[in-house]
Structure 1
Amino acid sequence: MIAADDDDRWVAFVGADHRTGTIAALAGVFATRGMNFDSLATRDVDGEHGLVIVTFRANERQQRMLVRSVERLAAVRSVQVRRAEDLGVRAAAVVHLPRGVEFRPPRHAAVSWSGSSALGQPVLVEGPLVDVEAVVAAALAAGAHTAATVIEPPLGT
């Protein structure tokens, strides 16, 4: 089940036990279904439970099947999935541009930002994931040499 270009992009927030093998089991669910994830990040919530944030492409049916399989994993406590373009999926990014390059996020991007690229400062951007990604793409096109994006968990996760 290789993702097609017209598949939707999803973000899964997986609450799971913080123990050896949890990430391998999660990756195994994707692998046994012939799917890949675009990104995977972990966030330590407390000593016993962690949060895994996975982005992937799939159609609606594949996404539901994948979620059901992930929910059956012994280490998984909760799964929340949203479309990547959902404005409630928030992110933050840091971009570094060469000193002297004046950069401002595109007007259409609903983000807050700080830093002055012209002074050689990193630019910090926060907002909906799709807008943050648009700003990162614009920064890379303007000559940014590094960029890092972090997806924020929804409130209560």
Structure 2
Amino acid sequence: MTPPEAFDRPGTTPAIRRRRPAFVRRSDEIEVPPLDEIAPALEPPWHKEGTDTPDRTVVYRHPDGHRIGLRLQARGLAIQAWITAGPDLPPISGGTAAECAEAQAANDARLQPGRTWHAVLITRTSNSLVADLAALVRERLLPALTNKPRGIPAPPPPARIGQPEITSQKKETQK
């Protein structure tokens, strides 16, 4: 080994890592009640299954094989929700060609067997967690069984208070 030259980089001192005590909560963590308590009550034939972690996961099952799941994500920042379609599609009735085509189009428009559709509820922006979670399940997940969503529409931009609206109207010029 050669002796160090005068122009070599000096050695670096490792940074001391400070550990937080285990009882200190992270600053971006949100306190959310147990998921089993805030999960929506769905009408029969849906029934809630018991899970190993009822405070973090809730699962509903339908007799047709459909499943809905809710999971509290890490640090309570979001609740992941999903629906999985059951194994059977309704049979296509034997009728005229137009009726068969209509039934086939209805089958193609719904969530296919075994496929899953996901949605997320951000807990930080929720005003009423129980009501928002129930609306997510009833208005976004359950309709996916009959009419598969193409995407999630973007929320409208926030209204600007006290600022005039900018409109894009073309002014006529004189020649």
Name the TM-score, length of structure 1 as normaliser.
Answer: 0.24
Q: Which has the larger radius of gyration?
A: 2
Structure number having the greater strand percentage: 1
The two structures have a TM-score, normalised by structure 2, of 0.23
Q: Which of 1 and 2 has higher RCO (CA within 8 Å, sep 6+)?
A: 1
